[in-house]
Structure 1
Amino acid sequence: MPPRKTFADGRNLREHLIATAAALIAEQGTAGLTVRAIAKQAGVADGLLYNHFADKEELLAEALRAHVRTVESGLGPLPEPGTGTIEHNLAAQLTYGLALHKAILPAFAGLIGQPAVVERLSRTEDDSWRDRLTRYLDAERDRGRLRPDADTDAATALIVGICHETVLSSLLPYTPTTLPPSVDAIVATVLSGIA
């Protein structure tokens, strides 16, 4: 077996292909992204991709995960449970979520006609912002900073739903564009139900 090629940054070919596809997704989204375009940008032959991935869907799913991680790394840390005020922390969580969704949902919108990629994404366990938000709310409830019976899953769904609706309405044709939400008003509304 020939030695695996590595690149100057230490990545192997599989990692290079994922990073290349993730960069293309960040630039142009997923709609119309082809194996040929990824291979050309990566500087390899088209068929070489299939030595490292079962199919295009696997490569796209891995590249989307990498794209999300890259976006998240640029958004900074989220507040820790027990620090600051709940209002400030939820505002930071919502602001983070809005920025995250604005950066990643356009790429996911291009997958509407590619359910196999979405299915591949759903197969893997990923520590999503939604999961971290629920854990944050659970920890605040456990510390007594929220009501003991606070429905943190419902609160998470409301906050994540605001992010989806705000961004998706701007991406989908023939829907009224939603104005950016008032973070403070949303936080106050959520807290009136769980504080």
Structure 2
Amino acid sequence: MTTARERLLDALAEIMRTRGLAEATTKEIARVAGCSEALLYKHFRDKEELMLCVLRERMPAFTHRLTPGEGGVRENLVATVHGGLRFYRKAFPMMAGMLTQPRVLEATRDSLRKYGAGPHEPIERVAEYLRAEIKLGRVRADANASSIAALLIGATFQQGFLLFFAAGTDGPDPAEEDAERLVRPLLPALLPNRPGTVA
């Protein structure tokens, strides 16, 4: 039996996917979930927290567990990009309505800022990971972690859009090779050129 919390997450995910964030009022979320607005606030502080939980729990995981020193740098980045391709392809319909309505965009921006969240998160997470790997000597000392992270996540965003444009959200999942193709050109700027380096 699904809990009220799960029904609320599913309701908001469905509204965002089919009608956009502008239609996702607390009243409508509660109606689709088959519960009261009061119950929504029993499980979530506000609609913004519910939205963040939808992105974290009802969407493909974006960033692979990036633990400095574990696994290979290349493999960790490929896994992260692979998750990002799946995430962005599913997220585009949710974002579209928000982007065309300035007031909704502004409200969403302010709400996410309150929770320290937003589209900058994946870039910062990858940059932080790369900086830690620089300290461990597994990434070149002269690598610009912020720029490489921005290039990698920017390319992931663009390719995720192309996947959505080509087949919508129900097309086949992107292959790992799709992620590999985005990571490979950056490796010379990342990996130390010495024998025995774990890549």
Equivalent pairs, count? 171
Give 1:190's aligned residue: 186
Q: Which has the higher contact order (CA 8 A, sep 6+)?
A: 2
Give 2:126's aligned residue: 133
- Tell me the distance in 2 between the aligned counterparts of 1:64 and 1:94: 23
Q: Which amino acid aligns with 1:118?
A: R
Give 1:78's aligned residue: 65
- Tell me the distance in 1 between the aligned counterparts of 2:158 and 2:143: 24
Q: Which amino acid aligns with 1:152?
A: A
Q: Which amino acid aligns with 1:161?
A: G
Contact 2:68/2:132, CA 8 A, preserved across alignment: yes
Aligned counterpart in structure 1 of residue 156 of structure 2, from 159, 163, 172: 163
Point out where structure 2 has 5 or more consecutive residues left out of the alignment.
166-173, 192-199
Q: Which amino acid aligns with 1:119?
A: D
Alignment deviations for residues 106-129 of structure 1 (CA, whole Å, 9 cap, x no partner): 212221112222332233213933
Please state whether the residue corresponding to 1:111 is helix, strand or coil.
helix
Q: Which amino acid aligns with 1:186?
A: L
TM-score by length of 2: 0.67
Contact 1:141/1:148, CA 8 A, preserved across alignment: yes
CA apart distance, 1:142? 1.1
Contact 2:123/2:146, CA 8 A, preserved across alignment: no
TM-score by length of 1: 0.68
CA apart distance, 1:17? 8.2
Give 1:55's aligned residue: none
Aligned counterpart in structure 2 of residue 69 of structure 1, from 56, 78, 83: 56
Please provide the CA RMSD for this pair.
3.5
Please state whether the residue corresponding to 2:117 is helix, strand or coil.
coil
From the two aligned structures, give the one with the greater helix fraction.
2
Query: Given the alignment of the two structures, is residue 144 of structure 1 paired with residue 137 of structure 2, yes or no?
Result: yes
The percentage of aligned residue pairs carrying the same residue is 23
